[in-house]
A and B are shown apart, each in its own frame.
Chain A
Amino acid sequence: MKTTYSEMQLDALRELANIGSGTAATALSSMLGRPVDVSVPSALALPLADAVDAAGPAEDTVTAVVLPIFGDFDGIVLLLFPPADAATLCGLLGVEADSEYGLSALGEIGNILGSAYVGALGMMTGLGLEPRPPQTVTDMLGAIVASVLATGAESSDVALVLDSDLIVEGTQCSLSFMLVPSRNGVGEVLAGLGLVG
């Protein structure tokens, strides 16, 4: 099945990602006691295979926090921490990256940021959204992204990916956010924004 979105719809989704990641940046900033910048988000509707390619080198090992959302719309929020960035972030929090504490700290960051992001989404769209407990995985980037995209691929060959980066000021540390709504989820979100899905 082919799926297309208008420029206006993509703009609205981009704005949504901007506000979601802005809220998450504020949460991260108060955790770290440092300013956190947000990149200009992108909203891309891509064929599945291209969406995986766009995420980065498929075999790179990354740590990811997967946060499923259920409620008026279903989807997945994915936070990606490249290894060097994960280590920097853990350092700022005073824990070893390659330890159980490191992983659990990243999971907790994912939980707080993801919840802030999802909360902002719910406020903007007027939809009741409920994040499920986050899961932290360290694996090949391509395998993580493809497995997330597969969950929304039943009825569409196009993945809608809202992508934004948070950059911790004064460090090389950045992490990226992806929101992957299920096909029905996109319709719900657009309807919540007053745009027909």
Chain B
Amino acid sequence: MIAERPETMVRMGELAVSGEAGMALVALGLGSCIGLVLLDTARPIAGLAHIVLPDSNGDGDAPAGKFADRAVPALIDAMKAAGSLVSRLEAILIGGAHMFSLGGGSESTLNIGKRNEDATRAALKHAGIPVRIAETGGGNGRTVRVEVESGRVLVKHPGAPEVELYAR
């Protein structure tokens, strides 16, 4: 990590929005979690949520980014508060891997990564926000970095260099 690049770490269940030039939002080691990136197509404003599970089942005390059904509206609200408009938002999804299976039970309760992606996409669709690109599923972890000013979304796999997935 290079010290002069200011970064905000978005950890499990957290979300962050920034309109600060030079700032990057980072979620390290996404496994079954989803990194949801929202970009403003017209202004340098970016948001990132580190979603852990699909459905809050009405649990209003959980961290804002933890459950997909609450994280999507919460991130949209934070983008609006930073000066964005819903009509200018686009989404990028990273993560949702299936790193190991627990055996037994039904597949739907076990593949948390897939359920996280489905729930996040459903909430984005409900809000009318298009998903530009998704790098999801598979069996490996990922790190995502979003550069606020350039709108670049960079993804890193274990033991590999960072690559650009998307740019506004």
* A binding-site residues for B, Cβ under 8 Å: 1-2, 47-49, 52-53, 58-59, 61, 66, 68, 70, 76, 132-133, 135, 137-147, 149-151, 153-155, 157
Known: A59-B156, A142-B141. 20 other contacts (CB 8 A): A1-B62, A48-B12, A48-B66, A49-B11, A49-B14, A58-B29, A59-B28, A66-B100, A132-B104, A140-B142, A142-B31, A143-B31, A144-B99, A144-B141, A146-B31, A147-B97, A149-B12, A150-B53, A150-B112, A155-B59
CB within 8 Å of A: which B42-78 residues: 52-53, 57, 59, 61-63, 66
Please give me the 6 A-B residue pairs with the lowest Cβ-Cβ distance, nearest first: A142-B29, A143-B141, A147-B31, A143-B31, A49-B11, A58-B28
Q: For B31, what are the chain A residues with a Cβ–Cβ distance below 8 Å?
A: 139-140, 142-144, 146-147, 150
In angstroms, Cα B19 to Cα A26, docked, is 56
Q: What range describes how many residues of B lie at the interface?
A: 35 or more
Q: Which of A48, A137, A150 lies in contact with B32, CB distance below 8 A? A: A150
In angstroms, Cα B14 to Cα A53, docked, is 13
Say how far A14's CB is from chain B's closest CB, in angstroms. Answer: 24
Say how far A187's CB is from chain B's closest CB, in angstroms. Answer: 18
Q: For B100, what are the chain A residues with a Cβ–Cβ distance below 8 Å?
A: 66, 135, 137, 147
Number of A-B contacts (CB under 8 A): 111
Per-residue CB contact flags for chain B residues 17-33 toward chain A (1 = under 8 Å, else 0) read: 00000000000111111
Nearest B-chain residue to A65, judged by Cβ: B100
- Where chain A touches its partner, the secondary structure class is mixed
- Asked, given contacts A1-B59, A48-B52, A61-B158, whether A147 binds B102 with beta carbons under 8 Å apart, the answer is no
- Asked, given contacts A52-B12, A68-B103, whether A139 binds B158 with beta carbons under 8 Å apart, the answer is yes
A140/B112 in contact, CB under 8 A: no
In angstroms, Cα B10 to Cα A48, docked, is 12
